[in-house]
Structure formats: structure tokens, C-alpha cells
A and B are shown apart, each in its own frame.
Chain A
């Protein structure tokens, strides 16, 4: 194999990737900042408050979910816990 061909191929490591991970729906649709407490409040599509705090399974979603809806409107998705890619980083 000549050098040019090698350069055109994808890196070996990228070939070890999984298929796209299963998509999970966000447990909330909008957020707002509570000015007094500086806590983010999470709302569902009907304007109800979604519990993302103590004892909520939704919190686990936010910190471990492997794949987020990717319409570009969401902030930096968490990719399988900790393995961020640098493109998302400041």
C-alpha cells in the first residue's frame, strides 16, 4: 500500500467504534433559571416541572445517557459518561 492510500483511510481506532448508540428522549423540553436560588428548573412539554434532583432517575439520565437527540439545539451532549470529544470543548 502506498502512502497516499494510507492517508485516505480512516484511522484504525475509528474503525473500532460502535454503531450509533440508541437515542434516548430528553426527560425535559425547556429550562429556566430561578433567579433567587440560581438553580435550573426543568419543564416538560406541558409546562410541568420535571424532577431532576435528589432521588430522581432523570438525574442519572443527565449524567450517563449515551446518546442525546442531535438537532444541535442541545448543549454539549454527555457521551457515555466522561469521554468527551475535544470538538465540543471550549
Chain B
């Protein structure tokens, strides 16, 4: 088995095609890659780490079916999308216990390795996954953002709808699976004040003033690298994810330097090396820039494998994992 000094650990599920792109790019650079799925804990994944005595930081081994890695020699972790914990053979209480202990003991260990670069650190992913946090940081950094209301109060929602007509509703997260595991979704959609009712009170809801947008932009930032696509849908859809993906046009777009500076500042403020930013582009009249870039959200663990720049983005990941970055 080859030396795993300076290993790059890729934490993800077996089905992750996007991780394959990054692993291929790391291999081309001669890196030692270890693909690890924490859900394999058991016979497919064993580990031991020690601290104390002479040791002020964790050291030990992590063994998969094909790699035996010294934890203290891991140079970087690419944290993608690990499988959900399994423990399927255990009864409910034992399973819950095993999951919690694995989350704290294994996940907690591999996310706290000494001298290790994380793209991204999962703790920072969690923190920056909250839209209230995203929008506030964006606003403080000087990004244009849509007027936003988060509430469970019907009257507040109605008032907002009238004040900012037209408004859109946007759920914070996807919908948990229900029927035979099949998937439903909530697209960002226009809302009339008459559509609102008392069931707003049940939980949190987010409403935003609709941006009269010309098109959308997806900006993928990896370390110091910035990749931007303008996304145009045939009918000018409110939510470009909702239609026929084949019909979407992706074209390269220049990101204004003031926006680029804020992208890096945004990631820095959350301790992130990578983020997928969505913007609504509003046409300007007579300005220096053709569009006003309105921040919609930043996904700290977003998908990018379908983008025209995917190969270059994968290379940027490999470069950032191996060399770090300065902005």
C-alpha cells in the first residue's frame, strides 16, 4: 500500500459523481487520495486516535478497505456528501445510540484534524446554511438583497405582501420524503396576499419582494477561483430549477469586481473556502454595469457538476486542497 503522507481525504458517498471529478483531478496532480464514507464505520472503516501525554493533537489511523491513513498526516479534507448513517441491523434505540456516538466520535474526529485544510469545514457549512445568517451577512457586506420577511404571523405576511407586491415565497429547505420516498419540492413562487391564511402560524415562512430580473447568475467560488454562468430560461422563469434543464442557456458572464470582493468577504466571514452563489440579475439603465446583482443565497455545499465549467471547477478544488489559497 502506498504512503499516505499528505493524503487528501475525500469524505463522500460512493454515488457521488462530482467527487469523482475532483478525485480525478487530484490523481492527475499525483496526490494521494483517500475516499472515505463515514457511514462505512464497522468492518469497512476502522479508526483509532489518541490524545494526551506527549500528544497535544489527535494522532492515529483511519483504515478503509483500500487506504490506511495517519490522521496527523492528512493535508486536506474535501467534505462533500457522505452517506446517511446506516446501522440498519440494529434495533431503533441501539441505532440511535450508534448514530449519535459515530457523529460525535468519528465525524467529530475527522472534522478536527490537526494541521488540516477543510474545503469546507462542516461546522462552518452548518452555520452558513441558515438563510437568516446568509442574508444578514450579505446585507452587511453591501450586497443588494431582496426585501425579506421571515414570520409565522399572518398579518405581518399580508402587510408585507401589500407593501412589496409582487412577493415570492421561498422555503428554507427541501421537503422531507413521504410517499414511497418520492420527491416533491417547493419552487420559489409568486404569492398574492389573498393566498395567505392562518396556517402561516404553524411554522416559519420566508417571503421576499420579487426581483424584476432579466436572468440569473450562478457563481461558484473555490479558493481564489471564481466561475460564473448567466442562466437564461426560455420563459424567464421565476425559479430556473423548475423547468426543463435542457432548455436553460448557460453563458459565461463577467462578475463586477465589487461583487467579486464581496464574494470572498462573504466566504471569509463564514470560514468557507467554497460556495455556490445565486444572484438575480436586474437590468440597469445607463449604469457602468449592465446588471444589478441581487444576492439570493449561497449554498456552502452546493452542486456544480452540471455547469459548463465543471472540469475547471474540479481543477480549482484540487488546487485549493493541495496548495491552499490566498485571495
Contact = CB atoms under 8 A, between A and B. Distances in A.
Given A77-B183, A83-B173, A39 B65 contact: no
Given A12-B200, A35-B66, A76-B83, A70 B182 contact: yes
A85 B176 contact: yes
Interface string B248-281: 0000000000000000000000000000100000
A67 B306 CA distance: 16
Interface string B14-26: 1111111101100
Contacts of B171: 13, 16, 83
Nearest to A58: B17
B245 A64 contact: yes
B123 interface: no
Interface residues of A, number: 57
A7 B82 CA distance: 35
A18 B15 contact: no
A44 B141 CA distance: 48
Contacts, number: 183
A90 B311 CA distance: 28
B303 A85 contact: no
Nearest to A71: B181
A33 B13 CA distance: 11
Contacts of B299: 82
B68 to A, nearest CB: 12
B110 to A, nearest CB: 12
Contacts of A62: 15-18, 305
B103 interface: yes
Given A12-B205, A17-B185, A83-B173, A31 B20 contact: no
Interface string B171-207: 1011111011111111101000000111111110100
B196 A12 contact: yes
Contacts of B20: 39-40, 52-53
A6 B153 CA distance: 13
Contacts of A58: 17
A14 to B, nearest CB: 7
A62 B15 CA distance: 8
Contacts of B276: 82
Contacts of A14: 175, 186
B161 to A, nearest CB: 12
B84 interface: yes
Given A13-B169, A13-B205, A17-B184, A64 B303 contact: yes
Interface stretch (B27-35, B89-97, B221-229): B27-35
B214 interface: no
Nearest to B1: A35
Interface of A: 1, 6-7, 9-21, 23, 31, 33, 35, 37-40, 42, 52-54, 58-60, 62-64, 66-68, 70-72, 74-90
